[in-house]
Each structure stands twice: as structure tokens, then as C-alpha cells.
Structure 1
């Protein structure tokens, strides 16, 4: 199935996103309360109808309504009439709920090994020295065939290198102070719930690429209401997921429609305080992942939140209202206006500040990958419910999911933690045997020396007793005793 996704329109003029250019990435921007969430919902539904799976993070809980059909409302009818939509039908979409903490969805897990040292260092906010130690820990685990599954594995491996690194070779000699600093960072991540994310069974990416029996793409919703309170964990997890998709999906060039569309909400969290090396990785990832058939759509308040190197790769753009009360906000409006292909019939900069809720400035890629001139549109209404699903509705979706049975219970495999503990135990037992053997040898040597000294003393006394019978002996004995009694 190939086709287009209706974004919106006005006065009978409609604008659609072409599925063939959907993997050229996109941006949904606008101030809080201007309609970004509903726009995301409309796009997710559209991709699902085309048979394209979707992954998105739900930071407020509003997107859970995708699993429920919408209800009639006079405002929806007015919007349909204004845009000129005649074939609208309210319906639910196929949904899978996921949750890193396993509270409001299917548990999502990865392993320490899959996360890798670079992303893990970003998650822990390590300096260069600490990151180099983390890389050494991964190299040691690879050399020794040790599995790094959860935080216990990493903690034990680091502690082992701190205590025994010099015995393994100079390349593994690490500073105990630096290791202790990393261990403190691990404790912080653990307190934020990171220990629930690392473990088995780890997520299989194929479970994000499913369609239902009607051929509609499943919309994978990550419940992020709690996760967003740990911004570093939130952004690192989503970046890890993108990295895994890039590494595992085959190269397919530019398909008729994407294999998966990935919505990255609160995108500014990814770029805030990110080190240069990580920014370069993100830029490279966004540039190359389109050839794997993955479209990435960033959702944030202003285009100014996105680095220019990444912003330049976002071909499909939807800009909701921005308010310009301060010089900084006015600059953000200018940046947003300049990011569009100009339309001689529209003052883009002036329009951004006066857009109503559910209105947006839109430019998409047309034939040949050329951006269309920016247009001011009313966003089409979604077919599903605007607002959150009820708890019993979420529970029903979870109860019907075979993935809940697959990922619901975690398990702890034999990995680095258990193996290194055994090594330490064996080493201690060997040291105890060596010490016991050495102690026996010392005791044995001391016994022989004692017996030797006792025999010499006895011989001397016997000789002395024999000498006592003679006058010389008696004088000698008196002399000895006299000197002792003085």
C-alpha cells in the first residue's frame, strides 16, 4: 500500500504528506497548547493506515486515545467542512503500549552490551577519563567472553578491574578513584529506575515493526509520563533505539513508503548539553537512517531547539504558533520563518505569531524532493479519540497483547557478575591454600630449629656436668654460677 497522508487544508485546498518522501524526516514545532499533539496523532494514524508501523513517546498521556475511536463533536464537523473532507470516519488504531518501568505498558529492556560505552557514558555524564575506563571495561568483557546484561554486571566488572587490573596487564590498570566515581553515577541511574531498563529479555526490534490482521501498522506508544522526569534517561533511550534500528535494518534506499516512522517528542532534551561527539553521532544517524527506510520526526517548541546540522535534514515541516514577547522569542520566530520555502502570498514571520490552535504553517516535500512553498492550514482532525484512554481500555489492550507474555517477566542469566564473583572466590581459595601451605612450612622449619637448639643445650649441660667432677670443672661451674648470681 502506498499513498499520501492528509495533513490539512483550508478553503477547499488540501495538503498531504507523500509517503514516498516520509523517510526524509520532519519537524513538528510550536508553543505549548497550540496543537502539536493532535498533529502528531493525525500523522501516526495516517502512517498506520498505510501499513507503516510507528513508534512515539507519550510524555503527557494524551496519545493513549489512539486505541479508541473518536466521538462526534460539532467542532470536528466544522473543521471537516472547512477543509473539505467528505469521507471521514472515526475509528481506533492498532496500538501497543510500552513502558521502561513496566507500570503502564509492556516492559522495555536492553542490555548493557547493546547500549555500548559511548551512549552509556552520555547517560552517566562521564568525563573523558571515566569514559575511557568504561571502554576498557567493555573491552575486558569482550576479551573474556563475559556478558554485560544489567547494572550488576557493569558494577562488578568495574570493581574487578579496580582491584585486579594490574594483574591483567598494564592496559587494564585503572584508577580506583575514577571507578568509584562511575559507580556513584550508576547508583544515581539506578535510583531513577535505570535498573529496570537493563536486563533480559531484551527488546527485539521486530516487535516494533508489526502490522495487524487488516494490514495496518501498529502504533507503538512509549508511556513516558514518568520517564520524562529523568531527561537524560529519556533521550538516551530514544537515541539508543534509533541506533539499534540503524544497525539492524537492511539498506533499502528510498522505498515507496517507510518501514517505520519514529516520533521524538521533547526533542530539545536530546540536544541540551550534549557533547560534540554525541551531536556528531546524532547528525550522522539522522542523515544515514533514511536509507534504512526509517523516518524521524522531531517534536519541540521551536526550530531553534534543533542544531542546524540536523535541522537541515528535516524536509517535512509543520509549524504551529509561537509567541514572541521577548527578544529571544522574536529571534526564534525569525528562525522558524526562515526555515520554510517562501510563499509570496504569505508573510510567514507575521503569521507564526497569530496562528490559532489547530492551525499551522506547513511545507512538505513534493515530486523530486523539492519543498512546497509554505502554506497556512487547518490541521485535519484525528479519527481516534483526542485525549487519554481510560485505564480499563489500556488494560484491555495490554491483556490482548502476546508481547506482554513475552516481556512481562524478567530473568537474570549467567553473566559477568556471576562469573567474576566465581573468579574472585577461586582466587581467594587459592590464596588461602598457599597461605596454609606456607604456614605449615614455617611451622615445620621452626620445629626442626627448636629441636636442634634443644639438643645442643643438652649436650652442653651434659658436658658441663661431666666437667664438674674435676677441679677444672668445679672452678668453671663456680665461675658460671658466680657470674649469673652477681
Structure 2
């Protein structure tokens, strides 16, 4: 195949009527081609995507490039920063000889620029704190997070119903635990009378699941004020979309907390965002780094929930991009929904690696210009196999893309720079002052305290009565014969009978 034929096919595939972002330039026969720009139409960005490749092949810089290009088009971004690599996007980068050479070969001008950034957290790290209330999850989603069976899920639904009926707000995990403990013990007869019997074995299993979630940091995530997803979709005064960086470096060993947050976020976005239809660009793009953390520990039910949301959420103008080392980390049901594929180099050290490479190669459109299964192991750092969806939803020709350099700093921010961003953040002022208003925990605790006081006072009253009886024992003995005599009993029943008859006549 000649260069002219390649150019003709390439231009047909990567030229659009609408707006687009440029992620790099095409490469053929080890040569970067000038003016062969790999463009991704904004119209299909909400059709999701995959960024894969071995460690050190350039995935992080690719995510930065995509985020910068989207931000410059006024599209907000949410980044899941597991390794802490992305914060430098807030500051302008610097041009070096390598960047000059690469961009001149593509004939693509290079500009350094910083982008508006919000630093967020769901753990103990510094940043805008993201929270959600237990009530916002609802019984079904809360049950799926805890990976409960059908019987246990029924108990969760019953508890939510009881709290709704009794006006007991469920805001955090201690609210839910307190309600469950109350209904298992002191309130057992109450719930059995009104709602049905619950199994103590099932409630014990639920408590253990909640404790597991608490140990992974769930107690920090559940509470108030809950985060408004509209705050993820802000535009700055220059028209740039905010890059919201969720700092997750300390939760790599806490997959349940991560998947809890992700599922709640996607559910909230889906339920609150209006249908966009066939819009020209997305409302928000979410990048999930180290995506295997979601899927490795997820139950089958949770996987089905994620797959369903990924299928439906694109109609709300939301694009989701999964970043992982190997495409096989992503379940097939989710993988089938991903329109943009950016595949950096894979390494073939073992038979398992070779099978993964063969499987990855088969996910790409066939091409006469590259031997996909061979070139996938030969890509250099910052190079990737790329195919997208054009404006009609048809896959673009497979191309080896030399990625453009990020405009922001290709390094992390210093502690002082991070603190400066957080201190001057409007969202930090809005969300970093937690409060714990009266809810199920406080209401039930007060109820139990009153019950305990009643129980403590009861023996004292009985003792007082007993003492009075002893003090007047002689007097009691004197009256005992009178009150037990037949005359007294007949007289008493006679009086009682008159009272009853009089009451009957009045009625």
C-alpha cells in the first residue's frame, strides 16, 4: 500500500463536519507523517473509551492530553487519580528539544498552558470532600454495595421503609447500624408487629458487611453535606472546563470504598442529568484510572449494575473512559460499549501475555497498513494504536498515533501549590465543613436512654411500695379480714353493679 492510498483513507476517516479534539499525528513505516492529525469528534466522546498499555508506555500523559483538549473546548473532566500523577495539569508545562522535534514532525504547534483544577477527596487526603447520605443510595444500591443476598436485601428495604415511616433520617453508617441494632433488640416486637419478623442471623451478617465498609473508610464518605454533581460541570471565566481531580492515592487497598463511590456517582449523574439526545459535545467526561480496582473486587450483581449504567449514561451526555494495563481487565459487557480505543504497547513475557495480545488485536478493525498483533508490542513510549467513532458512529481506520505533548506540567504539584488550590477553592468552602444533624442515631439513642431510665426507676418504686406495706403491716392485717369478708365483697359488687347500670342508662 502506498502513502497516497494511506493518506486518502486516513483523511476520509479523520475529517469531520463538527468540532473535534486533536490527540496527535499518524505514523506509518516508523515515520511520523506531517499534517496527518488524529482527530476525535466531540459528538462521539460520550460513547466512552479505553486507554490501555503496559506500565511506562505513556497512558498517564495520554489522559492528560485528552483532559486538556476537552477542557479547552469547555468540557469539564473528572479524573480518578490513583497514583497521584495528574495534578501538574494546573500549571503550564515547558517545551524541550524532544517536544519541539515531535511537534515539528507532525507540523502541530505546541503551546504550554495551565488548566482550572479542583482537587477532591473521599478519604483523609486534603481536598474538596465528596460525601453522600445513606438515604441517597436507597435500599437497592446500598444492598448491592454490601453484596447482600435476597433475604438480607429484603431486610435493608424494610429498614429504609421503617425509617421513612418513623421520620428517622438515614444520613451516615452509624444511623443505619443503630437502627438495625435497635430493631434486632429493643424494637424487635415493634417491627414484628408492623412489618414482619426479621432474622437475627441475617442482621448479624449485614452488620459485619457494614463494619467491613467502615474499615475501608466508608464512614468518611457517608454523611453531610452531600455533594452536588452539578459542581463537577463548571466552566471558568476563560471558557475552560474544570478538571476535577479525585485524589485516591491512599485507597488502592480499599476497593470497596472506590467502587462504592463510583457506583453512587454514576447513579447520581444518571438520575439527575436530563436526556441530551444527539448533542454536539458531552456534558462531562470521567476518566477511571486503574479501572481493574473496580472490577476485581466487584460482585456479579455490582458488575451488572455498572454495565447497565455504562450503557445508559451516554444518552445523558456523559463519557466514561477506563484506563488499565490490559483490555482483558475490563469485562466483555463493558468493553463492548467503548467507542474510542487507545492501545499503548503490551509486553509478551509469558504465554498469558501473548494470549492477551492476540485478544487485544482482535478488538481493532482490520487494516492493510499494520500487522496489529506485531506492532502492538513494538510501540514506543507515547505511541498508541487508535480507533474512534466518527460522527455517524462508524469506527475510524486503525492508525498508529504519535501522541502530542501535554500543555500542562508533566509532573505533580508541590505541597504548597496543592494547598494554594484547596485554600482558594469555592467548593472547598462549600463542602469541607461537615455537620451531623439529628438523625436516626441520635433519635434512637435518646429513645433507648429514656427506656433505660424507666427500667432503672421501676425497681425503686417497687421498693417504696414494699416499704410502705411493711410500715403499715399491722394496719393492713386489721383490715384484711374486713376486705375479704363476704359482706364486704357483696357490698363492693353491689356498688360496682349500680355504677355499671347507671352508665348503661346514660348511654
TM range (shorter): 0.7 to 0.9
| SS state at 1:75 partner | helix
Contact 1:28 1:297 survives alignment (8 Å): yes
Q: 1:74 aligns with which of 73, 92, 97?
A: 97
Closer, same or farther: CA 450–46 of 1 in aligned 2, 3 Å: farther
**Equivalent residues, number:** 456
* More displaced 10-residue stretch of structure 1: 29-38 or 134-143: 134-143
Residue 144 of structure 1: aligned partner = 166
Residue 238 of structure 1: aligned partner = 262
Q: 1:162 aligns with which of 178, 184, 187?
A: 184
Please state how far the C-alpha of 1:367 moved relative to its aligned partner.
Answer: 2.9
Closer, same or farther: CA 404–450 of 1 in aligned 2, 3 Å: same
| SS state at 2:353 partner | helix
Correspondence 1:83 to 2:106 = yes
Correspondence 1:59 to 2:82 = yes
Correspondence 1:106 to 2:122 = no
Q: 1:218 aligns with which of 218, 242, 262?
A: 242
Q: Deviations over 1:63-122 (max 9, x none)?
A: 001101101211111221232212x21000110000113532111111111233444344
Closer, same or farther: CA 133–439 of 1 in aligned 2, 3 Å: farther
Closer, same or farther: CA 172–197 of 1 in aligned 2, 3 Å: farther
Please state how far the C-alpha of 1:441 moved relative to its aligned partner.
Answer: 6.9
Please state how far the C-alpha of 1:403 moved relative to its aligned partner.
Answer: 1.2
Residue 312 of structure 1: aligned partner = 336
Q: Deviations over 1:377-401 (max 9, x none)?
A: 1111110011211111112211221
| SS state at 1:17 partner | strand
Instruction: Flag the structure with larger Rg.
Output: 1
Q: Deviations over 1:408-461 (max 9, x none)?
A: 22111111111112222344455567776777777778888875556789xxxx
Residue 200 of structure 2: aligned partner = 176
Closer, same or farther: CA 167–440 of 1 in aligned 2, 3 Å: farther
> What is the aligned-residue RMSD (CA, Å)?
2.5
What's the TM-score once normalised by structure 1's chain length? 0.87
Closer, same or farther: CA 15–441 of 1 in aligned 2, 3 Å: same
Q: 1:3 aligns with which of 12, 19, 23?
A: 19
Contact 2:216 2:256 survives alignment (8 Å): no
Contact 2:256 2:297 survives alignment (8 Å): no
Contact 1:360 1:377 survives alignment (8 Å): yes
Please state how far the C-alpha of 1:173 moved relative to its aligned partner.
Answer: 3.1
| Distance across 2 between alignment mates of 1:351 and 1:243 | 39
Contact 2:144 2:301 survives alignment (8 Å): no
Correspondence 1:15 to 2:31 = no
| SS state at 2:119 partner | strand
Q: 1:205 aligns with which of 204, 209, 229?
A: 229
Contact 1:34 1:356 survives alignment (8 Å): yes
| Distance across 1 between alignment mates of 2:451 and 2:142 | 30
Residue 253 of structure 2: aligned partner = 229
| SS state at 2:349 partner | coil
Matches within 5 A, 1:249-268: 249-268=273-292
Contact 1:3 1:50 survives alignment (8 Å): no
| Distance across 2 between alignment mates of 1:57 and 1:450 | 84
| Structure 1 segments unaligned to the other structure (5+ residues) | 458-486
Residue 420 of structure 2: aligned partner = 396
Contact 1:100 1:227 survives alignment (8 Å): no
Matches within 5 A, 1:364-403: 364-403=388-427
Residue 336 of structure 1: aligned partner = 360
| Distance across 1 between alignment mates of 2:212 and 2:245 | 26
| Distance across 1 between alignment mates of 2:432 and 2:235 | 21
Correspondence 1:276 to 2:300 = yes
| Distance across 1 between alignment mates of 2:90 and 2:446 | 49
Please state how far the C-alpha of 1:28 moved relative to its aligned partner.
Answer: 0.5
Contact 2:213 2:256 survives alignment (8 Å): no
| Distance across 2 between alignment mates of 1:147 and 1:119 | 17
Closer, same or farther: CA 119–266 of 1 in aligned 2, 3 Å: farther
* More displaced 10-residue stretch of structure 1: 40-49 or 165-174: 165-174
* More displaced 10-residue stretch of structure 1: 448-457 or 143-152: 448-457
* More displaced 10-residue stretch of structure 1: 240-249 or 400-409: 400-409
Please state how far the C-alpha of 1:145 moved relative to its aligned partner.
Answer: 2.1
Please state how far the C-alpha of 1:332 moved relative to its aligned partner.
Answer: 1.2
| Distance across 2 between alignment mates of 1:372 and 1:338 | 15
Correspondence 1:93 to 2:109 = no
